[in-house]
Amino acid sequence: MLPHDFAGLYVGGEEVDRILRGLPGLGGATVDKVRPLLDSLAPAVAAAREAFVGSLTGPEPFARMARRAGLAPAEAEVLAVLAAVELSPQRMRLLAYVQDNVALPRPTLATLGRMFAADDGHPGERAVAPGAALRRAELVEVGADGPWATRMCAPAPRVSWALRGDDSADPGLPPGARRVAGPAAPDPPHLLLVTGADAASRLRVVTGGTLISPLPATPGEWAALVREATLAGLVVVLELDQPLPPAARERIAATRHLTWVLSADKELPLDTLPDRPWSEERLDSGTAEADDWQGALGIPPDPGYRLTRSQLGLVAAAAGGDPGRLPDAVRRLAGGHLDALAVRVRPRRGWVDLVLPPDQTAQLRELAARYRGRDIVYDRWGFPPLPSTGVVALFSGPSGTGKTLAAEVIAGDLGLDLYKVDLSSVVSKYIGETEKNLERIFSAAASGDLVLFFDEADALFGKRSEVSDAHDRYANIEVAYLLQRLEAYPGIVVMATNLQGNIDQAFVRRISVSVDFEPPDEPQRRLIWAGAFPPGAPVAGLDLDFLARQFKVTGGIIHNAALGAAFRAADEGGPVTMERVAFALKREFQKLGRLRTESEFERYFDLVNGVDDVAPAR
């Protein structure tokens, strides 16, 4: 047959005859012979239907699809007709002829109604109604435009691919959704709430293959999620960080052919749960156990790192399965989450750099030991972790006495990073903003093992005031919120203040270790001066005994003076001398507004008492 000028735009009678002759069971009967033809075909149709119903219990993709969607035989017939047309261009052309419109190559609602009208009780077009099983399972799509009768019906593309043997995931799934292979989903389907611990520990409760997803954001994502779980026979696990919105509750309540798991770290409010029977499991601990460590890194649990199963999975991936890279991988846990809210300090100094009285040093070592031994005390020995397994420390003392250095040393000893919270980015004059910023900090910090350091903490953890206006009331709310977060935080929080008396007593009661930092005495100052100049620094004639004896200053001032003298020496092309150190001390005294006395500077007094800034060359 030669192509005509309007090929593809209409279906001619000759072409219909050719198609009809090529299809089994159809002979192109005339109108007056329709009834006898239907009667003659009735036994074959009945036998075909019986065979079709019998096939629904088999292992074929269509049969599995129908069972997983909970389709009745009549609903499965409608899906079979739609799929047969969708997968055959010839049937599409024939249907366009039957429907007398080349723009309607798929069955319309009216056609489905006529096709099954002779079968008593058959739903026909009602099988694709909005509340029908085919639509609840998102297997069929119905056009939304045009008159109702001419709206075309078709299987979703993912259904057609599945019938052709392709098991690729639906491209419309929510971003981050993933399939995890496993045994068949439990029967009968149910709704399970799993709360507490961490996401990986909550997943261990779920049986069967899973489709793990965040909460879908659009109707299209919901449709893809339901369809994928139906086709693959998977349990849907929704990882929630907020209560279910009404649209989500309706979806879950309507899809009773699926097992749903709502996974959340906190209990979900009862009035936000879907309208269907449910059960709940509450997990108290998500700490990774020996088998988790063995499976992830091939080693027994490291007592220095109290990781959840979720954290251990991330650490193992970051370390590439290499236990030797464990410390760096643990440090990387919170990377990116906190950098916009706090300053990361990678510990470089150790216990030898910390010059403190023996008792204060012992207290700091006890703090590190308390954190390192949580697994033994709380898990093995059974002490109750009240209010949490975290450690809260208070460092009080004048500026420059080593509070920040002590926090850095402890973090380094534990193999953790130190995050110094920038108060200017946290405290807000707007009501409620401070709590939001603190929630972001504590939530981000919970994603990894680290040390949270609040410098000048009395700005945040100060005493609550008598309520005289709205500002006082909301300031007290901020303090109460901080108390709650401190109780729940599982890591280390170090609060530093110049005056311990400024800290609210409610915070003091929650402090695990309190260390008072005092200005160093002369022997300690001598050690600090000695450690302030690296071995590679060019020094000449430094009298460390004189510096330690004469200048009653803190370690912070000593380090600043040593650095200032070094820069002056570098600029002038000479070594670090006593004169340059004395001049650097002058600058430190000027910053502090402290008078320079002859009794302190002695023979260097004339050098630092002048108005000019030029130090004599030495």
The range of the structural domain enclosing residue 315 comes to 290-331
Q: What is the dihedral of CA 167, 169, 171, 177, to 10 degrees?
A: 180
Q: Read off the pLDDT of residues 55-97 as tens digits, 9 standing for 90 and up.
A: 999 999 999 999 999 999 999 999 999 999 999 999 999 999 8
Residue 18 predicted with pLDDT over 90:
no
- C-alpha distance from residue 149 to each of 102, 109, 136, 145, 367 (Å): 16, 5, 21, 11, 76
**pLDDT confidence tier of residue 611, bands split at 50, 70 and 90:** low
Residue 26 predicted with pLDDT over 70:
no
Residue 20 predicted with pLDDT over 60:
yes
Question: What confidence score (pLDDT) does residue 570 get?
Answer: 95
Average pLDDT over residues 292-308: 84
In this structure, what token pair is assigned to residue 554? 């803190």
Say how far apart CA 61 and CA 75 lie, in whole Å: 16
Strands (DSSP E) contained in 47-151 are 140-142
Q: What is the DSSP string of 382-420?
A: ----SS-S-EEEEEESSTTSSHHHHHHHHHHHHT-EEEE
Residue 261 predicted with pLDDT over 90:
yes
Residue 269 predicted with pLDDT over 90:
yes
Say how far apart CA 107 and CA 98 lie, in whole Å: 10
Say how far apart CA 82 and CA 65 lie, in whole Å: 14
Strands (DSSP E) contained in 256-406 are 260-264, 278-283, 342-345, 391-396
**pLDDT confidence tier of residue 504, bands split at 50, 70 and 90:** low
The alpha carbon of 583 is separated from its chain's Cα centroid by a whole number of angstroms, namely 53
Question: What confidence score (pLDDT) does residue 25 get?
Answer: 41
Instruction: Specify which residues 140 forms β-bridges with.
Output: 155
Instruction: Specify which residues 462 forms β-bridges with.
Output: 503
Say how far apart CA 527 and CA 547 lie, in whole Å: 11
Nearest to 75 by CA among 110, 141, 122: 122
187 and 115 in one domain? no
Q: What is the DSSP string of 174-236?
A: PTT-EEE--SPPPSS--EEEEEES-HHHHHTT--S-EEEEEPP-SHHHHHHHHHHHHHHT-EE
**pLDDT confidence tier of residue 467, bands split at 50, 70 and 90:** very low
Mean of all residue pLDDT scores within the chain = 85
- C-alpha distance from residue 96 to each of 8, 149, 375, 535 (Å): 11, 15, 71, 90
Backbone angles phi, psi at 66, to 5 degrees: -65, -40
134 and 17 in one domain? yes
Residue 111 lies in a domain: yes
Q: How many CB atoms lie within 10 A of CB 395?
A: 28
How many domains is the chain partitioned into structurally? 5
Q: Read off the pLDDT of residues 340-393 as tens digits, 9 standing for 90 and up.
A: 778 888 888 999 999 999 999 999 999 999 888 888 888 888 888 877 788 889
Question: What confidence score (pLDDT) does residue 45 get?
Answer: 86
Average pLDDT over residues 390-402: 88
256 and 185 in one domain? yes
Question: What confidence score (pLDDT) does residue 373 get?
Answer: 87
536 and 495 in one domain? no
User: How many helices (H) does the chain have, and how many strands (E)?
Assistant: 27, 14
Residue 473 predicted with pLDDT over 50:
no
Q: Read off the pLDDT of residues 524-553 as tens digits, 9 standing for 90 and up.
A: 999 999 999 999 999 998 999 999 999 999
In this structure, what token pair is assigned to residue 53? 């119903």
Do residues 411 and 417 make contact, with C-beta atoms less than 8 angstroms apart?
yes
325 and 411 in one domain? no
480 and 359 in one domain? yes
Do residues 568 and 580 make contact, with C-beta atoms less than 8 angstroms apart?
yes
Question: What confidence score (pLDDT) does residue 198 get?
Answer: 85
Scan for tokens 């075309």, then name that residue: 152
296 and 361 in one domain? no
148 and 61 in one domain? yes
In this structure, what token pair is assigned to residue 394? 């208070």
Nearest to 170 by CA among 161, 158, 159: 158
531 and 462 in one domain? no
Question: What confidence score (pLDDT) does residue 3 get?
Answer: 53
Say which CATH number the domain at 481 has: 3.40.50.300
Nearest to 406 by CA among 464, 371, 355: 355
499 and 381 in one domain? yes
**pLDDT confidence tier of residue 5, bands split at 50, 70 and 90:** low
Say how far apart CA 188 and CA 258 lie, in whole Å: 9
Question: What confidence score (pLDDT) does residue 612 get?
Answer: 52
Residue 4 lies in a domain: no
Residue 8 lies in a domain: no
Residue 169 lies in a domain: no
62 and 42 in one domain? yes
Say which CATH number the domain at 558 has: 1.10.8.60
Residues 6+ apart with CB under 8 A from 356: 364, 402, 406, 517, 520, 524
Residue 573 lies in a domain: yes
454 and 347 in one domain? yes
Q: What is the 3-state secondary structure (H, E, C) of 513-552?
A: EEEECCCCCHHHHHHHHHHHCCCCCCECCCCHHHHHHHCC
* Residue type at 452 in one-letter notation: L
In this structure, what token pair is assigned to residue 134? 């085919």
Q: What is the 3-state secondary structure (H, E, C) of 37-59?
A: HHHHHHHHHHHHHHHHHHHCCCC
Question: What confidence score (pLDDT) does residue 440 get?
Answer: 78
Please say which residue of 516, 531, 546 terminates a domain: 516
Question: What confidence score (pLDDT) does residue 527 get?
Answer: 93
Q: What is the 3-state secondary structure (H, E, C) of 453-478?
A: EECCCHHHHECCCCCCCHHHHHHHHH
Q: Read off the pLDDT of residues 159-207 as tens digits, 9 standing for 90 and up.
A: 999 999 999 999 999 999 999 998 888 889 999 999 988 888 899 889 8
What pTM was computed for the model? 0.69
Question: What confidence score (pLDDT) does residue 477 get?
Answer: 55
Residue 172 lies in a domain: no
Do residues 552 and 519 make contact, with C-beta atoms less than 8 angstroms apart?
yes
Average pLDDT over residues 211-217: 96
Please say which residue of 115, 134, 163 terminates a domain: 163
Residue 462 predicted with pLDDT over 70:
no
Q: Read off the pLDDT of residues 124-158 as tens digits, 9 standing for 90 and up.
A: 999 999 999 999 999 999 998 889 999 999 999 99
DSSP 6: T
Nearest to 65 by CA among 200, 162, 140, 157: 162
Residue 568 lies in a domain: yes
Residue 386 lies in a domain: yes
Say how far apart CA 156 and CA 141 lie, in whole Å: 6
- C-alpha distance from residue 394 to each of 20, 304, 483 (Å): 88, 22, 14
Nearest to 390 by CA among 382, 378, 404, 403: 378
Scan for tokens 């009794």, then name that residue: 599
Please say which residue of 453, 486, 516 terminates a domain: 516
The alpha carbon of 313 is separated from its chain's Cα centroid by a whole number of angstroms, namely 13
Question: What confidence score (pLDDT) does residue 9 get?
Answer: 66
